[in-house]
Structure formats: structure tokens, C-alpha cells
Structure 1
Amino acid sequence: MSFDERMVVARVERLNLRELRIWVREGWVRPAHSEAGPIFDELDVARIRLLCDLKKDMSLPTEALPVVLTLIDNLHQTRRELCALTEALEEQPEGVRRTIVTKFRTLHGDMNEAGGGQ
């Protein structure tokens, strides 16, 4: 489903049109564009709600938002890559999977010891 600016503002009660336009201009939300203006999808609306949480509920300073958003984006990208790696691993023969899992546990244990058990 797609939404124009006014529909987004109606869906996200804590948001006004001015804020939405600023967030798009800053690149914090990246809607598709049409001749009629920006077109938002469900992911855009979820990100806008996150911005409202960070900015309004948690009072995160504006200058910190790009850093936090970059960290969140990186975390989501890492998760997508891990899911793809897991799918590739599941397609391997049992012996290959077992070898990789054993090696991972060895390396992960070494990292935990070096990093204080995180």
C-alpha cells in the first residue's frame, strides 16, 4: 500500500506535515517520488514512527538522529546478510554444515574470551 504526505500525517498522529517534509529533506525517510509528490510505503511509515519515538518520546537531539538511524540501518543490513548466509548454509551437505558450525563456535568462543564474554 502507498500513501501520500497527507495520508502519512493522518496515520501517524504525532507527526505534522512540516516535520515530515524536513525528515524527507534530511534523508531520514526516503520515499519514492511521483509527479504528484512523494509516495510512502509501509516501511517508510514504520521509520517515521521510529523517528517520532526517538525525537518525541525519547527526546533524542536532532544532531544524534543521523547516527542512530545509520546504526539501525546497519543492523538491519547485517540481519539480512545473516539470513542469506543461513539460507546458503542450509543448502550445504550435512558434513559441510557441521564443519562450519564447529568452526564458528570455536571462533565465537575465542571472540567472547577476548571481548569479555559479550
Structure 2
Amino acid sequence: MRMDERRVVAEVHRLTLRELRLWVDEGWVRPAKKADGPVFDEIDLARIRLLCDLKKEMGLSSDAMPVVLGLIDRLNETRRHLRHLMNALEAQPAEVRQDIMATFRSLKHIEGTLEDDQ
């Protein structure tokens, strides 16, 4: 679903048009640019709702926002990479998957032992 600014503000009741434009100017939301203005999709809408939560519910300052958004973006990127890795593993023969899982468990056990020693 594609939405213009006014539709986004109507959809997200905690949001003002001024805030939305500021967040776009800050780069916290990156809608597609069209001749008649920005166009927002479902991912933009989810991010706007997250921004409302961070700003209005949690009181996060504007100075801290880029750091928090950067961490969230990195976490989401890592999750995407893990999904791709899982898909690649699923495509392997059963014996390869079993060897990989055994190695993973071994490394996880070693890591846990090292953490206990600290």
C-alpha cells in the first residue's frame, strides 16, 4: 500500500504532519520520492510507528535517535543475513547440515565455558 503524507498522519494518530516532515528531513524515515511528494509504504509506516514509540512513549531524545535507529537497522540487517544463511544451510545435504550443527554446538559450548571462566 502506498500512502502520501496526509494519509500517513491519518493512519498514525500520534503523529503530526510537522513531525513526519521533520523525521523525513532528518533521514529517520526514507520514503520514495515522487513528483507530487513523498510516498510511504508499509515498512515506512512501521518505522514511523517505532519512532512514535521511541519519542512519545519512551521519551528518547532527538540526539539519541540516530544511534538507536542505527542499532535497530544493524540488528535487522543481521537478522536478514541469518535468514539467508539458514536458507543456504537448508539447501545442503543432511550430512553436511549435521556436521555444521555439531561444529556449532561445539563452538557454542567452548564459548560458554570461556564466559564462565571470566
Q: TM-score, normalised by structure 2?
A: 0.94
Q: How does 1:1-118 map to 2 (within 5 A)?
A: 1-116=1-116
Unaligned runs of 5+ in 2: none
Q: Distance in 2 between matches of 1:84 and 1:113?
A: 29
Q: Distance in 2 between matches of 1:115 and 1:34?
A: 52
Q: Distance in 2 between matches of 1:113 and 1:63?
A: 39
One-letter code of the match for 1:60?
Answer: L
With over 3 angstroms needed to count, the CA separation of the structure-2 counterparts of 1:69 and 1:90, relative to structure 1, is: same
Q: How many residues align?
A: 116
Unaligned runs of 5+ in 1: none
SS in structure 2 opposite 1:21? Answer: helix
1:115 Cα deviation from its structure 2 partner: 3.6
1:105 Cα deviation from its structure 2 partner: 1.0
Q: TM-score, normalised by structure 1?
A: 0.94
Deviates more, 1:107-116 or 1:17-26: 107-116
1:81 Cα deviation from its structure 2 partner: 0.6
Q: Distance in 1 between matches of 2:65 and 2:27?
A: 11
With over 3 angstroms needed to count, the CA separation of the structure-2 counterparts of 1:102 and 1:67, relative to structure 1, is: same
Percent identity, aligned pairs only, is 59
1:113 Cα deviation from its structure 2 partner: 2.9
